[in-house]
Structure 1
């Protein structure tokens, strides 16, 4: 994305293939420390651009807040869907229990009628028969008939209790549904307010970038921030204990991170001498962004110019990068499988339109992603 990149990645390409145990131990420092280093580098570079410092920091805070709120909204939408599924299942269970209850009542009524009819003809005979086999037979018959009625009544009581429990669970789920919906409504209102605040911050930022030279300088600094972040991530994970196979064997087989029209392609003119180092894919805000291959998250944070960014290491010095996200759903150190949702598309980083910025890098250098992705 910048003609400054060869110099910026030279140090990375010169890293030794093997290192002493002491060096490996240093490289395997906690990924949390890596994040602190990248943030410190970013802050230092941003500070050099005093005219944009305050607005850039404000934009970062606005977009981090939007990211957090969008993730919470997604979680509550999933919860609402789950609660509605549970309610539907409880309603089906209630219908079945009601049918069972009605059937049990009919069976009990039939037993009572049969007992009454039988008793009308046999009660007198039973009283007249003393010490006879017929008397014993009738007593045994009435005993079993009485047991059947008791069992039928117990079954009815059990079904009534099941209906009561079902009704209670439905009321609980409905109450949860109402609370979750209320929380979701509040979150969406808060999100709209945060987005409005971001628009105001962005307008202020853009007013400082009217001159072409200042805009070009911004892109160069943004590229430097990204290059340094990736370089530090690679260096920290150079001695990764879990091997990954890279993307070479998957060339031409990778699924796209999300559907959408490609607005800018790799190598196309961007501004001045700068060219695009990846693909800019148009997509509605909040669409699922899927990682293209198995790997490990090495960076997940806000970067100036790119907004909410997640970088995944695929091994063999291959990385994939996903920028301008609305929200990040993974953290540094997470292992991810191909097709797993890692972010939501958005317009962070000061973009006017929603979408996704996607890069593939090998040995620190950006490569054209198109040959790695399936044709569509």
Structure 2
């Protein structure tokens, strides 16, 4: 029974190993941002706002949608890999068939020629020239057979490797299919749960939205988050600059050490050459043989320079929020930035928001699930649920410019992901207790919100 259980255990695919490594590398980033969220909410009661009851459900829906999208991409990639493997398998099969035919033909020709071995030929008493010619022919045939057999053996090994890789790809597809089924089931459950919560909380949410203090708290919460993120980004940029300086100094030290070692080697060579010339002149004067030169001094090893320390997962996480973009890259795009979503602008920056504070960003109405795209290249520095903004994603564009995308149905990109202009980073929705489906969009510089109108082509 134990043996049967061991045999039934599923094999670990390459995808499983890579996925485990990727999840481990995200752990440090998520830990730091989790602490950041707790710090923001420390002075607030999580039960004060009825919308908070939707948080777990809306985050779960976002995670399920993101997983389904990632699984679909993996499935497409794995299917393409399977097609390539099938093509390679067919090519190998054709090659092996041709090689087998060629080997059969060589053996048949060898048999028809008399299948004589070398001993028989040598003892046959036949014409020596004929014997020599036949022996050479047999050597050529043997070499051709050996070469063909080696090639055939290599191709058969390649077929086995191809079959193993194909089986691994099929196992990965089955993993993906099962994960998709699980995620779809989870998604449907969470959607039903969210619908029930919304129905039960709708009147309470309506009352709470009328309170200006709630909107002000949302704005303060966002400002606090942006300030803390800005501080983290600055710290990481300083650390990254220090690391670049250290690497440059290390490279300069190595270059200097190499130049000094080369100069010493040249000096030794020159001294040896001068000594050889002096001994030659002395031998010419005395008529005696030239004295042997002393053994050359061993070349000095290049002076040791401290090896560059290997980057640890923690160090990688520490620079996950900073971006390599130059500080003026985003500002140079003013007036040419694409809209983050296709839809109708329902609220503009500075407009009055009921009885509450003015809008600090823009709200763009769009159907649920509409793609939300990054307006410029950057790095995702926040991707999670936040009270008042639902599923929220923030992108750092360098130069202390941030773009903010709220009320999303699902978040596609994760913290630390690099994005290009036009990349899909989320899907529009009405999370965070928003009544209408769409996207809440903000631009901030040095922590302060500013009007996106002159920057983005809505």
TM-score range, shorter chain: 0.7 to 0.9
The structure with higher relative contact order (CA 8 Å, sep 6+) is 1
Q: Structure 2 length normalisation: TM-score?
A: 0.62
| Cα displacement (A) at 1:341 | 4.9
* 1:292 pairs with one of 372, 376, 382: 376
Give the match's secondary structure for 2:360.
Answer: coil
Give the match's secondary structure for 2:454.
Answer: helix
* 2:55 pairs with one of 53, 60, 77: 60
What does residue range 85-100 of structure 1 map to in structure 2 within 5 Å? 85-100=80-95
Q: Is the 8 Å Cα contact of residues 383 and 411 (structure 2) preserved in structure 1? A: no
Q: Is the 8 Å Cα contact of residues 345 and 355 (structure 1) preserved in structure 2? A: no
Q: Is the 8 Å Cα contact of residues 363 and 440 (structure 2) preserved in structure 1? A: yes
Q: Structure 1 length normalisation: TM-score?
A: 0.74
| Cα displacement (A) at 1:269 | 6.1
Give the match's secondary structure for 1:203.
Answer: helix
| Cα displacement (A) at 1:255 | 3.3
**Aligned partners of 2:230 and 2:182: how far apart in 1?**
41
For this pair of structures, how many residues does the alignment match? 334
Give the match's secondary structure for 2:394.
Answer: strand
Q: Does 2:246 match 1:251? A: no
Q: Using a 3 Å threshold, how does the CA distance of structure 1 residues 209 and 354 change in structure 2: closer, same or farther?
A: closer
The aligned residue for residue 80 of structure 1 is 75
The aligned residue for residue 108 of structure 1 is 103
**Aligned partners of 1:367 and 1:142: how far apart in 2?**
88
Q: Does 2:222 match 1:226? A: yes
What does residue range 1-376 of structure 1 map to in structure 2 within 5 Å? 34-41=36-43, 43-44=44-45, 49=48, 53=49, 55-119=50-114, 129-130=125-126, 132-210=128-206, 214=210, 218-234=214-230, 241=238, 244-245=327-328, 247-257=330-340, 259-267=341-349, 271-272=354-355, 276-281=359-364, 282=366, 284-285=368-369, 287=371, 289-290=373-374, 292-294=376-378, 297=381, 299-314=382-397, 318-325=401-408, 326-327=410-411, 329-331=413-415, 334=416, 336=418, 338-339=420-421, 341=423, 343-347=425-429, 348-351=431-434, 354-373=437-456, 375=457
| Cα displacement (A) at 1:138 | 1.0
**Aligned partners of 1:185 and 1:134: how far apart in 2?**
75
| Cα displacement (A) at 1:131 | 5.9
**Aligned partners of 1:290 and 1:353: how far apart in 2?**
22
Unaligned runs of 5+ in 1: 1-29
Q: CA RMSD in A?
A: 3.7
Q: Is the 8 Å Cα contact of residues 208 and 214 (structure 2) preserved in structure 1? A: no
